Structure 1
Amino acid sequence: MKTDDLISMLAGGVAPVDRGLLAKRFSLAVVLAALGSLLLMLAVFGVRPDLPVMTRTPLFWGKVALPLCLAIGSLWMVTRLARPGMSAGSGRWVVSAGVLVVWLAGLYALLQAEPDTRVAMIFGKTWRTCAFNITLLAIPGFISIFWALRGMAPTRLGLAGACGGLLAGSLATIAYCLHCPEMEIPFWGVWYLLGLLLSTAIGALIGPRVLRW
């Protein structure tokens, strides 16, 4: 067999690369994560009874904006890190901006409040369970997002896992906003972010084990 014939035979069985595979996998993963977190929230916690009233207030949408901003930034990072040799990119600035805005708004709210109400604004009524509830609701996201990552070729496994965990936690927090009764910005700046930090840490820990290829 001639060399040219051998090359033609080997090349003939190569399937074309699906350039849209990354977008397809992560689109499906995000939809499944968001839907799974929502259904889990409904089954375990339920929707707050005054939700129709609260959705007509800007403060409620400000609460949703925090995890939404972090979800956008972490999705940006995780889709880059799903490819070999890629950095996290500019998504980290989106995440940092979301955290900075909520901290500045929380600090402003505390400075404007009466001194004897500030502790209550930070701790609310659910501080003992908030972060753990968010982590629980992130379970569907961990499953679907890490499935999407495993189908690609990440090389920075710890960082990819951390960003995947942050994405799962962010989507879980959006779902949790439909249940959580807390409406003080300082509360979100502490306990929501603690739940997101837990999800990120879990992702960083399991990433090198689950995403190894």
Structure 2
Amino acid sequence: MKTDELIGLLATGIEAVEPHLAERRYAKAIAAGMAGAGMMMLSLLQVRADLAEAALSMMFWIKLGFVGALLLAGAFASIRFSRPGARVNSVPAFIGLPVLVMWCLAVFALITADADQRMDLLLGKTWSVCPFLIATLSIPVFVAVIWAMKGLAPTNLRQAGFSAGLLSGATAALVYCLHCPESSAPFIGLWYSLGILIPAIFGASVGRRLLQW
């Protein structure tokens, strides 16, 4: 076979990739997963009764901003790891920055609080269930995000699975904010981070199995 014929054969049937295909797949996955997490939250828990009052406090919006920033970081990482050869050097910074900011706020809150108040700021009233509720709410999001990622071309499957879990956990945490009564920076920095980390670690552990071509 001549070179020109080989090139023609390889080029047969090639179609242009739709622009922003990955972004659209992840947008659909996040929307579907968030809807699923919302239904789970309404059936298993409930929206906090004082939500309108809580929405007037700065810490409520800082909590939303923290998990929202991790959601965006998880989406950014997932999209990057879904594209072979894409640069991922900036991914750790995108993930680490909101965590660092929240931990700085947490340390400041603990330092300035009275000694007898510090444990309450750190543990709140729901520390024993918060991470596991976030992880539970992340299940429908994780399924949707894995669907989106598997339809693309991830190659580094462990990191891709981690980013899928991170995105799922952050999305679930955003939904959980509608129920959670806690608002202290130390609580959010520790227990919300742990709740988001659980599906991220799970994603890393099963990424190779779920995302293998």
Bin of the TM-score, shorter chain as denominator length: over 0.9
Question: Which amino acid is the alignment partner of residue 146 of structure 2?
Answer: F
* Secondary structure at 1:17 match in 2: coil
Question: Which amino acid is the alignment partner of residue 116 of structure 2?
Answer: D
The answer for the alignment partner of 1:202 in structure 2 is: 202
Q: Distance in 1 between matches of 2:42 and 2:106?
A: 28
Checking the alignment, whether the CA contact within 8 Å between 1:66 and 1:102 is kept in structure 2 is: yes
Residue 115 of structure 1: CA displacement? 0.3
For 1:34-45, what aligned pairs fall within 5 Å after superposition? Answer: 34-45=34-45
Q: Distance in 1 between matches of 2:6 and 2:86?
A: 34
Checking the alignment, whether the CA contact within 8 Å between 1:80 and 1:89 is kept in structure 2 is: no
Matched, 1:149 2:149: yes
Matched, 1:212 2:212: yes
The answer for the alignment partner of 1:158 in structure 2 is: 158
* Secondary structure at 1:183 match in 2: coil
Q: Distance in 2 between matches of 1:9 and 1:115?
A: 74
The answer for the alignment partner of 1:113 in structure 2 is: 113
Residue 10 of structure 1: CA displacement? 7.1
The answer for the alignment partner of 1:29 in structure 2 is: 29
The answer for the alignment partner of 2:138 in structure 1 is: 138
Residue 94 of structure 1: CA displacement? 2.1
* Secondary structure at 1:46 match in 2: coil
Q: Distance in 1 between matches of 2:8 and 2:53?
A: 67
Residue 102 of structure 1: CA displacement? 0.7
Structure 1 length normalisation: TM-score?
0.93
Checking the alignment, whether the CA contact within 8 Å between 1:166 and 1:199 is kept in structure 2 is: yes
The answer for the alignment partner of 2:170 in structure 1 is: 170
Residue 85 of structure 1: CA displacement? 3.1
Q: Distance in 1 between matches of 2:102 and 2:60?
A: 13
The answer for the alignment partner of 1:179 in structure 2 is: 179
The answer for the alignment partner of 1:102 in structure 2 is: 102
Residue 136 of structure 1: CA displacement? 0.2
The answer for the alignment partner of 1:73 in structure 2 is: 73
Residue 16 of structure 1: CA displacement? 3.2
Matched, 1:189 2:196: no
The answer for the alignment partner of 1:46 in structure 2 is: 46
Unmatched segments (≥5 aa) in structure 1: none
Q: Distance in 1 between matches of 2:205 and 2:179?
A: 29
**Bigger mean CA offset, 54-63 vs 150-159:** 54-63
Does the C-alpha gap of structure 1 residues 139 and 12 become closer, same or farther in structure 2, counting only changes over 3 Å? same
Unmatched segments (≥5 aa) in structure 2: none
Q: Distance in 1 between matches of 2:35 and 2:101?
A: 27
Question: Which amino acid is the alignment partner of residue 120 of structure 1?
Answer: D
Q: Distance in 2 between matches of 1:96 and 1:55?
A: 26
Residue 86 of structure 1: CA displacement? 2.9
Residue 92 of structure 1: CA displacement? 2.2
The superposition leaves residues 144-163 of structure 1 with CA deviations (integer Å, 9 ceiling, x where unpaired) of 10001100111100000001
CA RMSD of aligned residues (A): 2.0
Q: Distance in 1 between matches of 2:27 and 2:172?
A: 16
Does the C-alpha gap of structure 1 residues 9 and 159 become closer, same or farther in structure 2, counting only changes over 3 Å? closer
After superposing on structure 2, the runs of 4+ consecutive aligned residues of structure 1 that deviate more than 4 Å are 2-12
Residue 5 of structure 1: CA displacement? 7.8
* Secondary structure at 1:138 match in 2: helix
